[in-house]
Amino acid sequence: MNRIHLIAGLCLISACTAPEGNGSSEELTADIENPTNRVVLSSDIVWEKLNPARGDKSPQAGTVWGDRKGTVATGFLAKFVDGFSSPPHIHNVTYRAVVIKGLVHNDDSQASTMWMPPGSFWTQPIGEAHITSARGTENIAYVEIDRGPYLVKPTEEAFDNGERPINVDASNVVWLDHSRTSWVSAESGAELSFLWDSKKEDGLKGVFVKLPVGFRGKMRSDGQVFHAIVIQGSVSYQLPQEAQEIMLDPTSYFGSEGQSLHTLESAENQPVILYIRTNGQIKVE
């Protein structure tokens, strides 16, 4: 496998330039008449076997949004025991993933071990043979597919569809402040990293957003699709339908459809990192 290991200073896909559109607050309407905001707490996740064929050796999976066993786009959590290592295998769909807890290695079975810490991002193309390993007392990754179902298949069915996998260690993520992207305001102190862009009519893209210690502000979105997962830190989230504040820790989720407003306050001891999948623009202010 010709897996791409990014090194510091390189930009992932469009990481060094913001997508078209200035994401101004005038474009992202503040008044939301019928909010669609929703949350899923880490304690709400229902865990089951990711690969039932492996029995007790299977990692655990917990769907966050979508339907992993259906045909729709889906985001789910994968949990691995300390020392887990899969046999070589392929998948029937391409997936993207972010390490949330522990250390994860994902590569060709002959490759040297590269342990990716929390905040690392990787992609695994459809049909590409690989293994996945984990090390740590608790190992969890967020996995995202554009269509389901998500299946594990033998390497005898491997094929090359032209995509190449990518590993990005957390230390190599390129962060942009307000001087380099209009998606975050100077007052917010937030930073953003553009991870991927589908380059299709659906307009889908994935970004990291980093909120500084003590952040109190809002995130506006105009996308019909908006899914956010807490990767690092804890954040207080105000659910507008109930005027209720909910504490979201790593693996917790919030999302919406259409124009939306998300009121957030980070904890005082650690920056917050969010992974966001959207087909519109966001503005952190």
The pLDDT, as a whole number, for residue 9 is 39
Q: Is the per-residue pLDDT at 282 higher than 60?
A: yes
Q: What is the pLDDT of residue 19?
A: 52
**pLDDT computed for residue 261 by the predictor:** 95
Amino acid at 231: I
Domains of the chain: 42-171 (2.60.120.10), 174-284 (2.60.120.10)
pTM listed for this prediction = 0.91
| Structure letter (DSSP) for residue 42 | G
DSSP string, 1-39: ---EE--TT---TTTTSPPSS---TTTS-S--SS---EE
**Residue 155, helix vs strand vs coil:** helix
Task: Indicate the average pLDDT of the chain.
Answer: 90
Please compute the mean of the pLDDT values over residues 189-211 and round it to a whole number: 95
Per-residue pLDDT at 10 = 43
HSE of 245, CA atoms in CB hemisphere, 13 A:
8
Element (H, E) at 77: strand 74-80
Note the pLDDT of residue 53.
85
pLDDT digits (tens, 9 = 90+) for 35-59: 999 999 999 999 999 988 888 889 9
Q: Regarding predicted confidence, which is higher, 4 or 33?
A: 33
pLDDT above 70 covers what percent of the chain? 89
Parallel, antiparallel or unpaired: strands 4-5 and 166-168? parallel
> Which CA distances in Å does 240 have to 165, 245, 260, 263?
39, 9, 10, 8
Q: Taking 60 as the threshold, does the pLDDT of residue 24 lie above it?
A: no
- Confirm if 133 and 104 have CB atoms less than 8 A apart: yes
pLDDT band at 200 (very low <50, low <70, confident <90, very high): confident
* For residues 62-73, average pLDDT: 96
pLDDT tens digit sequence for 217-274? 999 999 999 999 999 999 999 998 887 899 999 999 999 999 999 999 998 889 999 9
